[in-house]
A and B are shown apart, each in its own frame.
Chain A
Amino acid sequence: MNMNYTAEELAFRDEVRAFLDEKLPADIAAKVKAFRPLTKDDHQRWQKILSAQGWYATHWPEEYGGVSWSPVQKHIWDEESSRYGVPRSVPFGVNMVAPVIIKFGNEEQKRTYLPRILSGEDWWCQGYSEPGAGSDLASLKTRAVRDGDHYIVNGQKTWTTLGQHANMIFCLVRTNTEVKAQEGISFLLIDMDAPGITVRPIITLDGEHEVNEVFFEDVKVPVENLVGEEDKGWTYAKFLLTYERTGLAGIGLSKAALAHLKQLASRRLKNGRPLIENTTFSQRIAKVEIDLTAAGISNLRIIASVEGGGVPGAESSMLKVKGTEIRQSINDLARRAIGPYALPFVEEELADGFDGEYLSDEHAAPLSAHYFNNRKLSIFGGSNEIQKNIVSKMILGL
């Protein structure tokens, strides 16, 4: 039993810290730490810095420009980058479609798309969910019909995160209606500028435009944009979901959010004393911190097992459930900490360049919205109910 980092791992952590000390733009980090919305430019600026360092593609083999970090190194990066307020990389290109292209795509696709992902030239979004196909993803209906050198795509995708910024979308489409649902699905790469594509914003309850609906009307997609084989898309989709689910537990993010919460609770007053000295509130914080400690060790146990050559199984589903519940509890407490100020929704304080007087606390304005927004954590990436189904089937054999 050894829960310590090796000397090499500690050296790597120092290297990460030195890099972040030097290169992470302070304005971006401040936004991330305070849960303020990031602009497209914020994402792109950071992406370029990360790419220049060679640390952008952590799930790719080195021959394609990736960096081959061990599971422990990835964990160190996750911890440190969360602590520093590094923006999460928009995953759809670098961490989702790229691994699929690398594993199942042809040489031409690798040559075309991978460099453009690394350089930030392409912004990808994900065309998986449909209005009628959420947890039951395999029931998707968007049709792709072969017509000479093209597929003609008709249908609708939804919950397309940051699709408003994207120029490429990877889609699961139905190419065969004669077979079992899972067997008639293909994986297509589609240019968002193609005629017939319409992106419509979905505004969420916190007033944010983060997700979209994407409509396809007789969209012509060249056949060379098919990844792998026709009707085999479900296999690739499942492969991609394993990437989607890693990191969803957000342990590093929870640690950062907890640190933020404790500072907040030290500044806010209750009975004339810092809120953190109030027994009821400090016990709530203590409980979530204890839960997070446990989840952090569970996370390390999975990492150590992968480091030793194991394959993460349904354990990551369990951790997704716990991790998202913990993060949501922290967001709940941050909203509680500002008391009556949870009501005002002072959007101008969230905007770039706000230089007026803060209504309450510099950090108060986003907290309610952030709490509501993060109700998504237990819904996306496979809802927590679906994760429990996986655990119950894969581990318990029920």
Chain B
Amino acid sequence: MDFRLNEEQQMLQDTVARLVRGEYSFEKRLEFSETEAGFSEAFWGQLSELGLTAVPFSEELGGFGGGGVEVQSVMTELGRGLCLEPYLQSVILGGGLIAQAGSDSQQEQWLGGIASGELKAAVALQEPQSFYDLNDVATRAEKSGDGYVLNGRKAVVIAGHCADLILVSARTSGDTREADGISLFALSPDTDGVERRTYPTIDGSKGCDITLNNVQVGADALLGEEGKAADVIEYQSGRAIAALCAEAVGVMEVANELTLDYLKQRKQFGVPIGKFQVLQHRMVDMMSELEQARSMAILAASVADIEQSDERRRILSAAKNVIGRSGQFISENGIQSHGGIGMTWEYNFAHYAKRLITINHQLGDDDFHLERYANLLQVG
């Protein structure tokens, strides 16, 4: 039993940590957030130069076949910097869907670009009515000639505004919310009939809603078997949940460090406020929450790339449930421990607090995963 990273994993994590420390000061992040892209193209370039965008991919694609733990090492450090780059969307989800479902020629066409960072993918899996259920797909893809015509609306596509390739779930058969009948399509955002409404997100990133209005795509846009995408989507969302949990741990680490510093520095009534027991106990609770979250992020990483099973499903839902709750606890109690200063735009803590809340709104919140877990409860 050994929970330490091996030498290579540690080196990987150190590399990302150094890069983030050097390039991603809080002030710079605010600037990146306000650009049109909503992140730093330069930093994305550096991630790519260091081979970090290739981490989960095979050696032929310039990667080293990194699994859950390697992804975890990267994501935690990106979380510490509150990095805005679309690593989760493009590398983990986009790359993952194509690697699992794509034909040889599709993989050849896109994976190299995703691994090198030159091509950015985004995933359009949610819809206005779907809440967090990715099988709740009302968007239709009708057969037309050799290809398909897509109609519908996809919701809150993070980094969709700047993506070169968008992976869209659409129904080729079956009723809304049926797992069977969901297909995946890869399309360029420039295709006729694709409309994007771009907006900033409350955590400083950007995303868009996408309307598909008689969007004509060829048969080669279909990713994987027609009507059979639900399992692929579920599996890759699971990998993304593990990655998101790792990011959350990085965010929580810094949130706790900032709060602890504040408790030691801020003086009221002639003493550092950390001398007050009520604040001490709250800080201890925040630390315990972080440790719970860290444990679940480790567990999630360990199942991210194993074969699908109810056990994997349970672990990933459990992890996301814990992360959602601990993230909100640390966000709210961190603000409270800081007082007013914890609510200001100019001080970095608030931005960590916001990210912890929005993480709970990605890939299912704590309630969603509680229900999923409850449905998979094992007796005996």
Contact = CB atoms under 8 A, between A and B. Distances in A.
Nearest to A134: B339
B202 interface: yes
Interface in B328-346: 328, 332, 335-336, 339-340, 342-346
Interface stretch (B39-47, B93-101, B285-293, B354-362): B354-362
A343 B176 contact: no
Contacts of A272: 129, 136, 176-177
Contacts of B365: 336, 339
A269 B131 contact: yes
Contact of A344 (B129, B199, B278): B199
Interface size class of B (residues with CB under 8 A): 35 or more
B11 to A, nearest CB: 34
Interface stretch (A6-14, A96-104, A235-243, A373-381): A373-381
B332 A375 contact: yes
A182 interface: no
A345 interface: yes
B358 A343 contact: yes
B174 interface: no
Nearest to B135: A271
Nearest to A368: B202
A360 interface: yes
Most buried by B among A139, A342, A347: A342
Interface string A265-280: 0001111100100001
Contacts of B357: 335, 342, 368, 371-372
Interface string B100-132: 000000000000000000000000001011011
A136 B273 CA distance: 10
Given A139-B270, A204-B344, A284-B367, 10 more contacts: A202-B346, A205-B343, A270-B133, A271-B133, A336-B365, A344-B209, A345-B200, A371-B357, A379-B339, A383-B336
B59 to A, nearest CB: 36
A134 B340 contact: yes
A379 B338 CA distance: 9
Nearest to A269: B129
Contacts of A206: 202
A207 B197 contact: no
A102 B203 CA distance: 46
A344 B365 CA distance: 16
Interface string B157-178: 0100000000000000000110
**Chain B binding surface SS class:** mixed
A340 B156 contact: yes
A134 B343 CA distance: 14
Contacts of B335: 375, 379
Nearest to B347: A205
Contacts of A129: 340
A216 interface: no
A339 B131 contact: yes
Contacts of B205: 343
Contact of B345 (A204, A275, A344): A204
A275 B336 contact: no
Interface string A101-141: 00000000000000000000000000001001111100100
Most buried by B among A129, A159, A205, A379: A205
B351 interface: yes
B201 interface: yes
A282 to B, nearest CB: 11
B367 A280 contact: yes
A159 B128 contact: no
B371 interface: yes
Given A203-B345, A205-B353, A360-B128, A336 B339 contact: no
Given A345-B201, A360-B128, A379-B339, A139 B268 contact: yes
